[in-house]
Structure 1
């Protein structure tokens, strides 16, 4: 059985946006439904995932009066569209197929999202998998992986505002946010995209705050810019797949001991040599 509550909790923790998960049955099969809590019925949307014997399918399900949200997604600027494209290309490279239609016209590739206005939006994803034959834990992990990527794809086009930066003591990559129609904090979309692609373990040392500290650390990680923010020009567009990586607090601090920062791969190499020398 799909643990919809647990899947929603994990995604909420990693993306720092609140989702609710429910399970329903259709044609004798379980269907996982996820919903962004800041998009109230009937003005938002849900995402449904259907695991079958050989694949997991995901689909955007719009509410009756979701026009304002679809319109806002269509007005996403060039940088947010670039994040969507980067996520989509990475998902496709890892075996996911995507079908997108705007105003009932099929979109040929994530890089060719049409200009506004958007009145109707359809997005479907599918990934072949043998997880069901490997057991319930493998199937749950595959459903989580697909739902995390698909949720982040939609999130990348949504405008939202930060709601807790003051509580985070200067760590915007750890802040929570809520969806809004006309306000957003760009760095949080990039963080969510980085986490969706790379996970929450430190890429240099493998440290996982959730494994070490339990629930209080679950989903926490710092996000490192390979190109320092101070070196980015005003026209620089961050690619969360290639420009951002998750680092634990220790490795992040070590990376910035030098200018330019030490590459995460070099930190990993240093740690490996230290371990072999002991």
Structure 2
């Protein structure tokens, strides 16, 4: 797979649970569309993958085109543009080996579902590697650490809130409780322009934007800065300003 066009995996642990998230990278539209077509053509295989995960006590949440599926076993119609699968299980772990095993137990089903269509159509040598974590490994592991780390997303929203920084739009106020807290997170420096050693600062490099402002920001390369979007809307300068990218 070409850089930026594959899948990334996040593995996370708390004291009482293990979680795995598999998501498409920023330029993996072709991969997502292929997976969607496969799932629609092979719904029974999709359902079998979900059922096997749930039989192992893993709760599965699937998001397609930014919509969380009410039933993860039902395959959504239409063109898939984005995809994410989250597997979670309550699982206490006390030793390094137990931590590693618990993460493999939730990461395996997540990858099995996500890679079903790719295994059907692509050579195994092109697949991203997935290996068990060594004892004492960090609690968060990503295929590409500078990509869309869900922890960085949480830190960004925790700092700035879930209101669009550029236009002040609030999904919850507009659509009610179903959309409360929802917001997209924008990379001020496109992930395609940073190297593997780059470490994202969730306060400096990320900013919450609504879907419209996020799309507008990417109408130019490099993307428009959020304050440029705000100025184009005739809104007052925001204080405090965003940190400088050169800091």
Report the TM-score, using the length of structure 1 for normalisation. 0.41
Report the TM-score, using the length of structure 2 for normalisation. 0.46
* Bigger RCO (CA 8 Å, 6+ sep): 2
More strand by share: 1
More helix by share: 1
